[in-house]
Chain A
């Protein structure tokens, strides 16, 4: 029915939001033309607030001019979802994959992203679950541990998920996270009594959960992944 599925993983470390966005646009275009296989970016961002296509900036609770003072950037994007925060110690996955080749619709794709974070949480004894209707994301009780915001263009995905390992939760106080009032944001550090290994290990586990849930039987790591593609030259 389906041939062997290959996933190429780019472990990118710390990446500025706009640069990651530009890279994703290039990769989506390459994936559409079948120049590259399904690709997964694994990274973290410096403090950044982002908005989705609906531009719900009423959920930013401090003036934009204040953001510089707290060391954060703001970006408007084409992804689904409301306002969110990305920062150090939050594991981010941006899958650039062909949903059409997999025969997956948006709903199933997002459910699998939720499952990825739920599975990772369970490795640390944390019982997380998917959000109820209209509350896409991953929750531990009434507290949100993982967020999702995705864009699908000609069947190719970009943006993805953000899982809170141990980010500075104070930053979330300046927004109504995901437009949902009265619900807290939490992290793996807060929810588990298990000692946490290094973040590289946790990010590696997140990648494994993703690869297993999506049925990839070949996972390769890209040598020297960088913001510049192989075709670009440094002027």
Chain B
């Protein structure tokens, strides 16, 4: 267990012991369960492990057009699972520069690899200051625990 935790720290993965979903350390999180990875003004966005687990098997992903504007907290697309379409909201504002076309053929990537191959859009941010409105991995883990304990 100690080895695993050390390895996890080295790889900068935070493994939540009590929860059942993975939360990654160097990402930021929205309370609607999207994550964002920031590199300068470039942002990669997807939904979290907690989100994909609560959604069920994703059968369809609605992607925005490249060039579309997104706004923090507003919907930019949707995923469908178990006959439910759920809006996906953007954690940051900016312009969509790339969308994950793979999801049109393999929507299940959102379930199997929510933080890597299941990324949904890439955005050129226009206001990095907005990032302070988001949660870090620890805050997000706690948030998920609180939400799950409601029922």
Give the B-binding residues of A (Cβ under 8 A).
1-2, 52-54, 78-81, 100-110, 133-134, 136-137, 148-155, 215
Contacts and interface: CB of A to CB of B under 8 A. Distances in A.
B68 interface: no
Interface of B: 32, 51, 53-57, 59-60, 62, 75, 78, 80-87, 89, 147-151
A139 to B, nearest CB: 14
A153 B83 contact: no
18 contacts: A53-B60, A53-B85, A79-B83, A80-B80, A103-B149, A107-B56, A107-B81, A108-B54, A110-B82, A110-B84, A134-B57, A150-B85, A151-B85, A152-B84, A153-B75, A153-B87, A154-B32, A154-B89
B56 A103 contact: no
Given A102-B151, A103-B150, A154 B82 contact: no
Nearest to B56: A107
Given A1-B149, A102-B150, A103-B150, A148 B87 contact: no
A200 to B, nearest CB: 27
Given A108-B54, A154-B89, A136 B150 contact: no
Nearest to B81: A106
B93 to A, nearest CB: 17
Nearest to A161: B83
Contact of B82 (A54, A80, A103, A104): A80
